[in-house]
Amino acid sequence: MLHFYVVALSRKAYTMSEDLQNEITNDYNIKVYLGSLDGSRGEWVTLPLPEEELDKVYERCESLGGEALILDSYQTPLTEAANYKIDQYDNIYDLNILAHVASCTDYDPDAIEALASYNSFKNPIEIANAVYQCDEIPFEHFTNYDPALSPEENFANQYLAEIGTSIPEEIEGYIDLQSYGKDLGNDYVLTSSGALDLSSPSPDLKYFSKEELKEEVSQFLFPEKEQTETQSVKRGR
């Protein structure tokens, strides 16, 4: 409780400027404020970073006064899609792994959002698992999406299109697409952009351990090590 009290008192000390907000240029960026316990000193950190650089930032913040904590975060497209609120109990190294996984994965934020609305993520490693296995999320975009319609109405229209049926224009006003789509979508999570099929298996959010995910993105976490090993191989030829 003490942590939250101190953070609330010190919030003005680490308010993010508009320039810092503009530094978030990629959907996979994560932005956190790492600082001292009293919240008076620290710095904004944009992830992903090579782990050696993150070590330096962490040590620098620790030297300001005791344990370095995540005192604030800025909602980015990645955390917004996952409906995940970063707090001081999150491990910044886990967040870094997540940002690295997202940076080298062509993931669909709409699929992540749909999965999050059904099964809320408990930590960054679960999100990283979902991002890494995004192709296995049984999510389908609405092919004839109409922003003026509800998810249920769009789902009903998509179903009718798939079975090769259309509603005659003269009776459209008499058809309750909302109720029809709701009935059709009993086994789906409907979002504004598509549908998550609950009857099909979703990725196991614990399938890859933290260590396995680190290994998958090791060339980005440890770029100097990768470069040294590459040079050694070349010299050995």
Fold of 139-197: Arc Repressor Mutant, subunit A (1.10.10)
**pLDDT at residue 4 tops 50:** no
Residue with the larger pLDDT of the pair 172 and 222: 222
Comparing 65-69, 97-101, 155-159, 204-208, the range with the smallest average pLDDT is: 65-69
**pLDDT at residue 125 tops 60:** yes
Q: 35-39, 178-182, 218-222: which has the highest mean pLDDT?
A: 178-182
CB 56 within 8 A of CB 224: no
188 pLDDT tier (thresholds 50, 70, 90): very high
Q: Where in the chain is the domain with CATH 1.10.10?
A: 139-197
99 pLDDT tier (thresholds 50, 70, 90): very high
What is the per-residue pLDDT for 27? Answer: 83
15 pLDDT tier (thresholds 50, 70, 90): low
**Helix axis angle, 109-118 relative to 124-132, nearest 10°?**
130
What is the per-residue pLDDT for 164? Answer: 81
Q: What is the mean pLDDT of residues 195-201?
A: 96
Convert the pLDDT of each residue in 41-78 to its tens digit.
889 999 999 999 999 999 988 887 778 889 999 888 99
Convert the pLDDT of each residue in 134-151 to its tens digit.
999 999 999 889 999 999
Q: What is the mean pLDDT of residues 91-120?
A: 94
